[in-house]
């Protein structure tokens, strides 16, 4: 398959690229450090990206910023960034990319476990993750030509916890999280929200 | 209790007003047909509303528009309206109203079952309902002074189905849905998403 990967340079994105390129052609895009550049918050930038890549079999997004800040310190700009970037950026990848995806292809987007397991400082992230996951469930009923859509809902990633000098024990290695993306791309499911959790053992 | 009810003239809002005013003082607000006027999409309008009502014990929102339209026919304006109105309108009721709510008071917001049970034409509504419910779960961890927040997630309302000339059988009467709002206001729970479903029998 020819797969457009948006957010290819992040912790999860790097692992997803490695996992997918064993069997597929991966077109790497990100904000600034990939062969293809895209600003998720800018629909024109997304349109340019699709015009560059032509027809693809799958679009995988592991991208999108959202603001982490105490509830009553979140600014209008924090909410606007979170909505425009992680939520509408990924929604627009679907809206503007539906024609670019081959019959029976797929979109795989990224939410996150904060959608259902909240923590202090993450109200805006919980909002956009939950919204993204709700959108994926709804859009699955309407995408044309057998195109599938799923959302991966990662928990804490081990490498991220290490980088933040936090206890890595509750984290799932990025390579394990990446398997959920591969499963979503290569499988037949649609409208699903996958918890990308550490397997037993 | 002194309760600010936003969306007091809608099908559910009318039933919630009736249910609450048996035991409480209800201050009715809506876009245009209530003693208090508010445009949820306009933060300045929300600020004016709070300056008019002063201290309240609870804020109940049964308000917010979102666009119902086939996925690939949803416009940028449809998404912007849905985000600004049903999602950020209710989020802003919390952000701008936290100081107006008394110690131990509450916010009760409205999502909807489309957050988890999608239907064709409702991708934008699924997105904002899920986002609102995610926000409520997150915000519950951080509201000061014992203030609670919950979201009610109504399914189809019987009166709405009748008005749309659809089969009313799967609908829950508005008066039954209203009981969930009363329970959220009078109870002690926080961070919960209530399904407002028809009771058995």
The interface predicted TM-score (ipTM) is: 0.96
For residue A150, the model assigns a pLDDT of: 98
Chain A partners within 8 Å of B127 (Cβ): 87, 91, 131-132, 134-135, 138
**Between chain A and chain B, how many beta carbons pairs sit less than 8 Å apart?**
127
pLDDT in the model for residue A147: 98
Chain B residue closest to A94 (CA)? B72
Q: Which of residues 35-94 of B touch A (CB under 8 A)?
A: 43, 70-72, 74, 76, 79, 83, 87-88, 91
CB within 8 Å: B127 and A91 = yes
Q: Give the model's pLDDT for residue A198.
A: 54
The answer to whether A123 contacts B138, with C-beta atoms less than 8 Å apart, is yes
pLDDT confidence of residue B198: 55
At residue B171 the predicted structure's pLDDT band, cuts being 50, 70 and 90, is very high
Please provide the average confidence, as pLDDT, over all residues in chain B: 95
Calpha distance B120→A104 (Å, rounded): 19
CA distance B61 to B36: 13
A143-A104-A94 Cα angle (round to 5): 40
- The dihedral through the CA atoms of A192, A195, A196, A198 has a sign that is negative
Least confident of A58-62, A146-150, A193-197: A193-197
Percent of chain A past pLDDT 90, that is, above it, reads 96
Backbone conformation region of residue A129, classed left if phi is above 0, alpha if psi is from -120 to 50, else beta? alpha
Interchain pair A134, B130: CB under 8 A: yes
Subunit contact A134:B140, Cβ cutoff 8 A: no
A122 touches chain B (CB under 8 A): yes
A127–B135 CB contact, under 8 Å: yes
Q: Name B109's bridge partners.
A: B151
Q: Is the pLDDT of residue B201 over 90?
A: no
b/e burial code for range B53-89 (CB count within 10 A of at least 16 → b): beebbbbbbbbbbbbbeebeebeeebbebbbbbbbbb
Quote the pLDDT of residue A195: 87
Is pTM beyond 0.80? Reply is yes
Mean local confidence (pLDDT), A99-116: 97
Calculate the CA B8 to chain-centre distance: 10
Render pLDDT for B83-116 as a digit per residue (tens, 0 to 9).
999 999 999 999 999 999 999 999 999 999 999 9
What is the pLDDT, as a whole number, of residue A196? Answer: 77
Residue B195's pLDDT is: 87
pLDDT at B16: 98
Could you give the C-alpha distances from A138 to A108, A134, B71, B133, in angstroms and in order?
A: 14, 6, 9, 16
Mean pLDDT of A108-121: 96
Question: What is the tens place of the pLDDT at every residue in B12-61?
Answer: 999 999 999 999 999 999 999 999 999 999 999 999 999 999 999 999 99
Phi, psi for B117 (deg, rounded to 5)? -120, 90
Residues of chain A found within 8 Å of residue B131, distances taken between Cβ atoms: 87, 127-128, 130-131, 134
Does any CB of chain B come closer than 8 Å to the CB of residue A127? yes
Q: Give the span between the Cα atoms of B88 and B92, in whole angstroms.
A: 6
B200 pLDDT band, cuts 50/70/90, is very low
């Amino acid at each position: 398959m020819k797969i457009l990967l948006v957010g290819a340079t992040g912790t999860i994105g790097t692992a997803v690229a490695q996992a997918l390129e064993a069997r597929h052609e991966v077109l790497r895009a990100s904000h600034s450090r990939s062969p293809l550049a895209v600003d998720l918050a800018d629909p024109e930038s997304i349109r340019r990206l699709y015009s560059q890549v032509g027809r693809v079999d799958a679009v995988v997004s592991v991208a999108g910023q959202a603001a982490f800040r105490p509830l009553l310190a979140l600014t209008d700009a924090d909410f606007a960034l979170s909505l425009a970037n992680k939520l509408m950026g990924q929604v627009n990848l679907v809206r503007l990319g539906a024609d670019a995806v081959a019959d029976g292809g797929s979109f795989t987007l990224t939410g996150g476990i904060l959608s259902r397991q909240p923590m202090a400082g993450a109200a805006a992230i919980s909002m956009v993750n939950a919204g993204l996951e709700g959108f994926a469930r709804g859009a699955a009923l309407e995408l044309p030509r057998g195109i599938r859509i799923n959302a991966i809902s990662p928990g804490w990633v081990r490498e991220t916890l290490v980088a933040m000098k936090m206890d890595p024990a509750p984290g799932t290695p990025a390579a394990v999280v990446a398997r959920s993306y591969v499963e979503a791309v290569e499988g037949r499911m649609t409208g699903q929200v996958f918890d990308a959790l550490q397997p037993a053992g």
